[in-house]
Amino acid sequence: MIDKLNKKDEQIDGLKKNVETLESTLQKAEQDKQTKDNQIKTLNTEMARQEETIGKLNKDKKALEETIKKTQSDLAAEEDKVNQLNKLKQKLEQNIDEVGDVGDETISGSRCESSHNLTENLRGGGGWSLRSAGDGSPTAVGIVGCGVPRVGLGIWYVYHVSGWI
């Protein structure tokens, strides 16, 4: 019977050790669970912060895309203006060349007595012929009267006196 009691005591001691081991394992598992829960909360908070940042960045991206689109539109409009002015410049240069050819024949005549007359013609408006393409944009500019080409003064007149700028 003592043997049985000793066996039972050994079994009880073994079971107590098993219970202690299980309790220790359970306690570690609960600590791990709590640590994982804290990590999950931290990660969720970080995710929410990053989602907010992504939302702000997407909003900024849309604003930048709109700005780029407007800038491209403005650039295209400015390029159209430059092209129109270049065409006008070419026509003006062509007209000046044509008038220069005619002017060479008449330079000694009474029509071109001095550069003062040319300046007066240009400033008075009587020295210029402006033609429109129907949409209000100038298509040709030429000198009427004196045939002495004055490119610098002519371009000044087109840009400043006529108010196209």
Q: Characterize the bridge pairing of strands 128-132 and 138-143.
A: antiparallel
- Per-residue pLDDT in tens (0 to 9) along the chain, 165 residues: 788 888 888 999 999 999 999 999 999 999 999 999 999 999 999 999 999 999 999 999 999 999 999 999 999 999 999 999 999 999 999 998 888 776 555 544 444 444 445 445 544 444 444 444 455 554 444 444 444 444 444 444 444 444 444
Number of structural domains found in the chain = 1
Alpha carbon distances (Å) from 19 to 13, 30, 89, 125:
10, 16, 101, 112
What's the pLDDT score for residue 34? 97
Distance from C-alpha of 95 to C-alpha of 144, rounded to nearest angstrom: 10
Contact 164, 138 (CB under 8 A): yes
Report the run of H or E that residue 139 belongs to, with start and end: strand 138-143
* Residue 81: domain span: 2-161
Alpha carbon distances (Å) from 141 to 50, 88, 110, 114:
62, 8, 23, 22
What's the pLDDT score for residue 130? 44
What's the pLDDT score for residue 102? 65
